[in-house]
């Protein structure tokens, strides 16, 4: 294939919303880039939106590959799964040893591991790079999580740091680690995202049903919170939602939306792999489960009629106490995600720098929040910190706020309202700070019916009791 007209430093495959906006971001920063898409409409959009930079795209894959400077760098922003493999198989014969392929979709991390190994045999560098921030982030500065071949990352580091979101002078991108670490970290990011969204939904329920707030008052509450320690992107957009009017009815749009939540599966992946690693992330699990429960709208309606409210007490929670409870639960969501990364780093030899991960999440991504500065500082103070709750400064803040979470859970339980994510946060906190759990009984039961053995507190080794000799 002729490369006499090679001129572009990077090529984007997939010019949908994310791919096109990321390419425009790169062009804004002065990089010579181009894109490929089979859909002529996507090519036309790129040309129209990129006319300031005279951006052009290709509808012919060979011409596209031939236009790239060597070693070629290609970014894939196509739907995860089989489509990624199909694209790789299409372009692989057109590439040369040393070329770089970056998968920036939400691929499952084990798929990335497989692709790294397969393409390495052909002398091609492949790495997975999670991107967070949505359409606006891609256009003006996302948080990016690249993992894989470190030498390949060095080839694109300049571009990625230029287009990433900035917090002060810090670019929200860093080399995550080897293998599929980039996609693993993005998956965990999404799990934390699920948890915080569920907490915000439950907070809305308390404000609306227990405190009797109007949508205007709920907007004002979240707006106030967003100016303090709870400042975050998700709190910010949640506040804005309560002001948005429905064009069809003139009502607040949030009141016109059916209470059935959808998902694309990344939260479920987080729960599944956490169970495989035997590392509990119950607040994320609850968030996933409740999206699933929300889909049983008809069943919920039938059960609501069969089991009317059985209120045995009045909720006395205040807005200030609810704010404190949300802080504890929010910290718990991040703590469980960081603990999962700590365990995965050991299991998969990812060599994750948890401080750096918290640092790049401070801007650009969906879970960006003021709290991440505290998390960054905690892991900066102690790089091998096993759990965020062990940090002394975090512990002091949690200890003062946990009583509000206890009051919220007890009040809402008596008033017959379910707060699964909040309840999970408190149960997790109380369980993980319990020095002696009742799990000794479980081991006795397992040994009784299945001779699975147990360990003793006064001797090393494993033991079996003859439970029939009672």
User: In terms of C-beta distances under 8 Å and separation of at least 24 residues, what long-range contacts does 275-279 make, across chains too?
Assistant: 277/340, 277/343, 277/344, 277/347, 279/339, 279/340, 279/343
Entry field: residues in the chain: 470
Those residues whose C-beta lies under 8 Å from the C-beta of residue 400, and which sit 6 or more positions away, are: 324
Annotated catalytic residue, options 48, 51, 150, 186? 186
How far apart are the two ends of the chain, measured CA to CA in Å? Answer: 82
The verdict on whether 193 is a catalytic residue reads yes
Could you give the strand order of the β-sheet that contains 100-103, starting from the edge strand earlier in sequence? 57-58, 33-36, 10-13, 73-76, 100-103, 125-132, 143-147
Residues 131 and 141: their CA atoms lie apart, in Å, by 10
Report residue 78 as tokens.
């196509």
Cβ-contact 151, 126 below 8 angstroms = no
**Catalytic residue selected from 193, 321, 323, 356:** 193
Residue 451 φ/ψ region, left for φ over 0, alpha for ψ in the -120 to 50 degree band, beta for the rest: left
Establish whether 319 is a catalytic residue: no
Alpha-carbon span 336 to 284, nearest angstrom: 8
φ, ψ of residue 102 to 5 degrees: the values are -120, 120
- Please state, in angstroms and rounded to a whole number, the distance separating the CA atoms of residues 370 and 219: 19
Catalytic residues: 186, 193
């Amino acid at each position: 294939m002729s490369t006499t007209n090679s001129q572009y430093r990077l090529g984007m495959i997939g010019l949908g919303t994310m791919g096109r906006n990321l390419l425009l971001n790169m062009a804004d920063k002065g990089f010579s880039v181009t894109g490929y898409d089979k859909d002529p409409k996507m090519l036309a959009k790129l040309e129209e939106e990129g006319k300031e930079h005279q951006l052009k795209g290709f509808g012919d894959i060979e011409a596209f590959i031939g236009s790239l400077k060597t070693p070629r760098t290609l970014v894939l922003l196509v739907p995860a799964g089989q489509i990624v493999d199909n694209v790789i198989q299409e372009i692989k014969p057109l590439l040369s040893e040393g070329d770089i392929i970056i998968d920036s979709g939400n691929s499952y991390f084990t798929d990335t591991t497989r692709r790294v190994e397969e393409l390495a045999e052909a002398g091609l560098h492949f790495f997975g790079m999670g991107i967070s921030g949505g359409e606006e982030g891609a256009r003006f500065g996302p948080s990016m999580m690249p993992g894989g071949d470190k030498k390949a990352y060095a080839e694109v580091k300049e571009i990625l740091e230029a287009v990433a979101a900035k917090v002060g002078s810090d670019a929200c991108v860093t080399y995550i680690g080897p293998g599929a670490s980039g996609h693993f970290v993005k998956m965990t990011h999404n799990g934390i995202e699920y948890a915080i969204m569920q907490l915000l939904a439950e907070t809305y329920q308390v404000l609306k049903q227990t405190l009797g707030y109007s949508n205007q008052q709920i907007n004002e509450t979240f707006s106030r919170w967003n100016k303090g320690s709870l400042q975050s992107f998700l709190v910010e957009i949640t506040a804005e939602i309560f002001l948005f009017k429905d064009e069809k009815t003139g009502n607040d749009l949030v009141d016109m939306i059916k209470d059935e939540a959808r998902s694309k599966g990344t939260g479920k992946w987080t729960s599944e792999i956490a169970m495989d690693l035997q590392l509990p992330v119950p607040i994320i699990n609850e968030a996933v489960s409740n999206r699933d429960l929300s889909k049983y709208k008809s069943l919920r309606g039938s059960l609501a009629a069969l089991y009317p409210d059985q209120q045995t007490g009045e909720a006395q929670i205040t807005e200030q106490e609810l704010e404190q409870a949300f802080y504890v639960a929010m910290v718990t969501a991040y703590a469980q995600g960081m603990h999962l990364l700590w365990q995965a780093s050991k299991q998969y030899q990812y060599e994750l720098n948890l401080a750096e991960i918290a640092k790049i999440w401070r801007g650009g991504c969906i879970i960006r929040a003021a709290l991440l500065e505290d998390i960054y500082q905690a892991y900066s103070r102690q790089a091998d910190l096993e759990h965020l709750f062990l940090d002394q400064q975090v512990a002091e803040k949690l200890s003062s706020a946990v009583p509000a979470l206890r009051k919220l859970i007890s009040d809402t339980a008596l008033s017959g309202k379910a707060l699964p994510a909040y309840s999970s946060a408190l149960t997790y906190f109380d369980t993980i700070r319990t020095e002696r759990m009742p799990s000794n009984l479980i081991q006795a039961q397992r040994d009784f019916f299945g001779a699975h053995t147990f360990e003793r507190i006064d001797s090393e080794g494993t033991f079996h009791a003859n439970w029939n000799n009672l």
